[in-house]
Structure formats: C-alpha cells, structure tokens
C-alpha cells in the first residue's frame, strides 16, 4: 500500500500511563490499545503513519529499578542514553502489540515496524551548561556521585537534573520515511530519541533528555510530512486554562501562538512544549500541526490547528 499523505503522530504520556495507575504491563498495553484504536480514523482517510511517543514515567521507573539494584546487589546503574534505549524498545513493543491487534480487528492489512532511534544533538548546546530536566528518584540529601542534583520545586527532596538539548538530526530518518511511504507504520524517535553527539569514530551517548514533541516535529519536517498530530489529554489548546475566561482555540496562527507563549498562557512541562513543536513544524514548511486528544481523531476538523 502506497498512499499519498504522510502524518507524524506524537503520543502523549496518557497514551501509555494514566493518573492513578501503577504502570503495570497490562495497564500500559490497554492504554496503548485504546489510543491505537483511534488511529484507524487517520488510516481510513488515506494517511501513512509515523508514530513518536514519550517515555518520562518509564525512564523514571527504570532508574528506580537501577537504584534498587545498586543498593541491594551493588549492580551498576546505567547512563541516561542506555535508559532511553531500553524504554524505547519496551514502549515500541507495546505499541506494536496494541496496534497489531487493532488493525487485525478492523481488517486493515498494514505492517508495524519499530526503529530504536538515535537523535543527534549539538555538544555545544547551552542546555548542557544549565541542566534543568528532573529525572529519576528523590533523595533526602544531595548525592555525591558526580551527577548534578537540584532541590525538587515541590519540596520532595533532591533529584538528578540533565540537559534537554534541541534535536538536530535523526539517525536513519531516510529509512523511516521510505518504509512509511510504502505503507509500513513506523514507531520512531521514542522518548525524543537516544541523545548522541558525533565523534571521530561514530556517535557517543550523552546524559540528556530530548523533548519528544520537538523530536517528532523534526521527524515530520525532515520527511516533509503533510500533517503533524500531537496527542494529549485535552481536545484543544486553551487560553486562560481552568481560569475565568477559558477559551478553546480552533485555528492558531504562528504569530498568535508566539504571543500566547510570551504571555505565559501555556504551562511549561505541559502545553508549552507542544505549541513550540507545532510552531517549529509550520515554520519549517509544514502545512499544519493538530493538537488534540486521541478520542477526537474521528473528526477531520478536530483539535487546535497551528498554521502559518
């Protein structure tokens, strides 16, 4: 199957893990299956698909497991790039499994392939000089292991912080595009991708976390995707969210989006990164970015649409 349109879809965190859940395998598989069921609407409208996803809670759980192993058995903890690769693979397995079930039930003959993806970042990115991304477990006192720790803003203790550099280049994106344009659904840039920097002998992983929406936007730009979907837990982007004068936005031009960002209308760590990713896609030549919830994908006019 070789369809004409290509959409990149970035799964939000609620596609994998919902509030109040423990994160068991069965919980995550069922959540993924529900989200994947909504992708049938895009396939039915003639889209080839590339799927990105987050991995924040899963990486946190892996780091907790490593910490427990270190305390109990003196096992060495793994670096962030390794944790990213580990969760890319496990989450991609969940998505492949859930999507395969959904496609089979719907009688849709499409293959699903996952690519564990390295994403190149600039070693001189200023974020490396001021790491701000909290990861892993909380500690009552600042550990003295050579990593950088900061007090958690909620007063829960000390927590490791790493850089969140801008993605520059996606490894093997040409292969991803070739597969996608031939009708294969490809899972890639999971968790923003494994952060690496170029060296004389290849690529070296670094202690960092790449924003998954920015990485998915870069994938969409590089492949010249027709549309870029960012799935979250609300049907639209709002200004004055949960305040007096709350307003859902239908169409949002880039200039308006930048003004609202400057005004602080979109929360950091929540909607702000999604809006920035949408702006990046459109400014690089993309037609439109749609921010919505998975349940709304049955409506071709769903969500907030960021356009030039």
Q: What is the DSSP string of 75-144?
A: PPPPPHHHHHHHHHHHHHHHHHHHHHHHHHHHT----EEE---EEEE-TT-GGGGS--EEEEEEESS---
Euclidean distance between CA atoms 51 and 130, whole angstroms: 30
pLDDT for the residue 14: 73
Residues in contact with 151: Cβ distance below 8 Å, sequence separation at least 6, in sequence order: 157, 158, 159
In a domain? residue 147: yes
pLDDT for the residue 12: 84
224 catalytic residue (yes or no): no
**Residue for token digits 């089979």?**
104
Domains: count for the chain: 1
pLDDT for the residue 3: 55
Euclidean distance between CA atoms 181 and 2, whole angstroms: 6
pLDDT for the residue 139: 92
In a domain? residue 227: yes
Closest residue by Cα to residue 58 from 21, 33, 30 = 21
Closest residue by Cα to residue 119 from 195, 59, 214 = 195
**Catalytic site residue from 61, 160, 274, 303:** 274
Give, to the nearest 10 degrees, the angle between helix 80-106 and helix 25-44: 60
Closest residue by Cα to residue 192 from 217, 175, 211 = 211
Below-70 pLDDT ranges, the chain = 1-3
Burial string for 180-207 (b: 16+ CB within 10 Å, else e) reads bbeebbbbbbbbbbbbbbeeeeebebbb
Asked if 112 and 47 count as a contact pair (C-beta separation under 8 A), the reply is: no
> What is the C-alpha R_g of the chain?
19
Asked if 193 and 167 count as a contact pair (C-beta separation under 8 A), the reply is: yes
Prediction pTM value: 0.94
Domain residues for the domain of 133 are 5-233
Per-residue CA distances from 29 to 125, 145, 298 (Å): 36, 36, 22
71 catalytic residue (yes or no): no
14 catalytic residue (yes or no): yes
Euclidean distance between CA atoms 244 and 193, whole angstroms: 38
Structure tokens at 148: 């950088």
In a domain? residue 250: no
13 catalytic residue (yes or no): yes
In a domain? residue 207: yes
In a domain? residue 283: no
Q: What is the CATH number of the domain that holds 51?
A: 3.40.1160.10
Structure tokens at 103: 């496609």
In a domain? residue 158: yes
Closest residue by Cα to residue 165 from 49, 270, 80 = 80
pLDDT for the residue 31: 92
In a domain? residue 296: no
Burial string for 265-280 (b: 16+ CB within 10 Å, else e) reads bbeeeebebbbbbbbb
**Catalytic site residue from 12, 13, 56, 84:** 13
133 catalytic residue (yes or no): yes
Residues in contact with 258: Cβ distance below 8 Å, sequence separation at least 6, in sequence order: 279
**Catalytic site residue from 12, 14, 60, 136:** 14
pLDDT for the residue 125: 97
Euclidean distance between CA atoms 225 and 177, whole angstroms: 9
pLDDT for the residue 1: 45
Give, to the nearest 10 degrees, the angle between helix 80-106 and helix 56-73: 130
**Catalytic site residue from 52, 133, 136, 236:** 133
In a domain? residue 100: yes
**Catalytic site residue from 31, 193, 212, 303:** 212
């Amino acid at each position: 199957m070789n369809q004409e349109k290509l959409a990149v879809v970035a799964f939000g965190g609620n596609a994998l893990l919902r509030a109040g859940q423990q994160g068991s395998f069965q919980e995550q598989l069922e959540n993924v299956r529900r989200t994947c069921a909504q992708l049938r609407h895009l396939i039915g409208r003639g889209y080839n698909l590339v799927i990105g996803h987050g991995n924040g809670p899963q990486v946190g759980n892996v780091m907790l497991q490593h910490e427990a192993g270190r305390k109990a058995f003196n096992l060495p903890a793994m670096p962030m790039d390794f944790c990213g690769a580990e969760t890319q693979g496990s989450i991609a397995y969940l998505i492949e499994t859930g999507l395969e079930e959904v496609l089979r039930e719907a009688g849709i003959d499409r293959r699903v392939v996952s690519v564990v993806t390295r994403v190149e970042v600039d070693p001189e990115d200023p974020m490396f000089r001021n790491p701000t991304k909290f990861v892993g477990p909380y500690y009552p006192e600042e550990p003295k292991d050579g990593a950088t720790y900061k007090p958690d803003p909620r007063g829960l203790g000390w927590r490791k912080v790493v850089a969140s550099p801008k993605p520059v280049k996606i490894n093997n994106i040409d292969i991803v595009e070739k597969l996608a344009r031939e009708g294969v659904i490809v899972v890639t840039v999971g968790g923003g991708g494994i952060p690496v920097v170029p060296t004389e002998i290849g690529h070296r992983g670094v202690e960092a976390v790449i924003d998954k929406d920015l990485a998915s936007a870069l994938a969409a730009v590089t492949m010249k995707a027709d549309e870029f979907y960012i799935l979250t837990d609300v049907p639209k982007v709002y200004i004055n969210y949960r305040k007096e004068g709350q307003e859902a936005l239908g169409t949002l031009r880039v200039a308006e989006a930048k003004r609202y960002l400057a005004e602080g209308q979109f929360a950091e760590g929540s909607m702000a990164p999604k809006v920035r990713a949408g702006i990046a896609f459109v400014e690089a030549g993309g037609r439109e970015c749609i921010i919505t919830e998975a349940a709304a994908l049955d409506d071709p006019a769903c969500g907030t649409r960021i356009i030039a």
